[in-house]
Amino acid sequence: MQLGNFIKRLKERKFRNFLINPRFQFKFVAYQCLIAFLIIFTVYFSNFYFFNKFRKTAMQMGMPPGHVFYKFLSLQKMAMDGILIYTFLGAFLIIFIMGIFTSHKLAGPMFNLRRYLLNLENNVDLRPLSFRSTDYFREIADACNIGLRGLKRRLEADLSSSSLPPPLPSGDAKIKQKGAS
């Protein structure tokens, strides 16, 4: 997908429908952010460790406390801290946004499947189950449709071989039948 089309679709949707299952989606993003935090935390303390090791090594070599090397080391540490802070903030922003998009592609199909299965009970909208082309787990819709077709064939075969009358299509037909008897 091209970036222009993606941005256009985002503006049309206005981010309103990206939280289908907020509990799942925020937990999904939180795990990703936790992993990023642990990685950046490790890098930050590694950085801290090595700069302190350089300082101790310089002291052991006999460099005086006001030596230019210590100023250089201090400036380098401040620069690295700044880079790590910006990297940290950028990583969290990117992880949050991508986590919401990715979790949306996971939560959307599950929401559709749940709604579809609940509608089966009420005979509402019995068209085949389908997911968006960008969703994950589209093969679940195919498997569900194949299973339901097989179930429908077996049910029709059982009904045609039994002596029971066919089921009534709606509540209106039940009323008409009672009125006729």
- In the prediction, which pLDDT does 131 show? 87
Alpha carbons 69 and 114: distance in angstroms, whole number: 65
CA–CA separation, 169 vs 175, rounded Å?
Answer: 12
108: pLDDT confidence band, cut at 50, 70 and 90?
A: confident
Q: What is the CA radius of gyration of the chain?
A: 31
Reported as a pLDDT band with limits 50, 70 and 90, residue 65 is confident
Q: Indicate the average pLDDT of the chain.
A: 82
Over residues 74-90, the pLDDT tens digits come to 999 999 999 999 998 99
What is the predicted pLDDT for the residue at 147? 87
Tell me which residue has tokens 């045609």: 160
Ramachandran category for residue 164: left, alpha or beta (phi over 0 → left; psi -120 to 50 → alpha): beta
Per-residue pLDDT tens digits for 115-142: 888 888 777 657 888 888 888 888 988 8
- CA 9 to CA 6: how far, in whole Å? 5
**Which pLDDT does position 42 carry in this prediction?**
93
Q: What is the pTM of this model?
A: 0.62
Residue 181's pLDDT is 46
pLDDT at 12: 61
Q: Determine the average pLDDT of the residues in 97-118.
A: 88
Residues 129, 145 contacting (CB under 8 angstroms): yes
Predicted local distance difference test score (pLDDT) of residue 10: 58
pLDDT at 7 over 80: no
pLDDT per residue as tens digits for the range 143-162:
988 888 888 888 888 877 76
Mean of the pLDDT values across residues 47-68? 91
Domain parsing of the chain, residue ranges: 21-163
